[in-house]
Amino acid sequence: MSKLKALRSALPSLPSTVAYAPKDEREYDRHRDQQHWRKWYHTARWKKLRWAVLVRDLFTCTRCGRLENDTSQLVADHKRPHRGDEALFWDEDNLTTLCKPCHDGAKQREEQGLI
């Protein structure tokens, strides 16, 4: 029990990961969110394309093989980053289904050149 009390007293002093995110990371996020192509993700056309990709891939992550029935946990991911290239963004052959853990973990590290 004394370990829990010690932990409790240490918790308020732990830094918030959001408040202390490295400056370059915050700037990257801000820059990315200001890109004109970000609005494409909120269109009916994108939602229809995303759904077509999920159905095509049978709601299964093409990286780990996880079958997911909660579609909010699936991402229609661009195999090659489009970086604002409209043709590449809308190309169904450039899209694959990933589960959130694969997309937010290993895939992001690969794209950032960390692995």
Cα angle value 91/71/99 (rounded, 5°): 70
Q: Which amino acid is at 39?
A: K
Q: For residue 35, name the pLDDT band (cuts at 50, 70, 90).
A: confident
pLDDT at res. 71: 95
Counted domains in the chain: 1
Within a domain: 9: no
Q: Which amino acid is at 19?
A: A
Of 7-11, 60-64, 109-113, highest mean pLDDT: 60-64
Within a domain: 54: yes
Within a domain: 13: no
Within a domain: 14: no
pLDDT, one tens digit per residue, over 36-65 is: 888 999 999 999 999 999 999 999 999 999
Q: For residue 4, name the pLDDT band (cuts at 50, 70, 90).
A: low
Reduced to 3 states, what is the DSSP secondary structure of residue 94? helix
Nearest Cα residue to 102 out of 82, 72, 77: 77
Q: For residue 32, name the pLDDT band (cuts at 50, 70, 90).
A: low
Within a domain: 16: no
- Domain that residue 61 falls in: 41-115
pLDDT at res. 11: 57
Within a domain: 76: yes
- Whether the per-residue pLDDT at 31 is higher than 60: the answer is no
Q: Which amino acid is at 23?
A: K
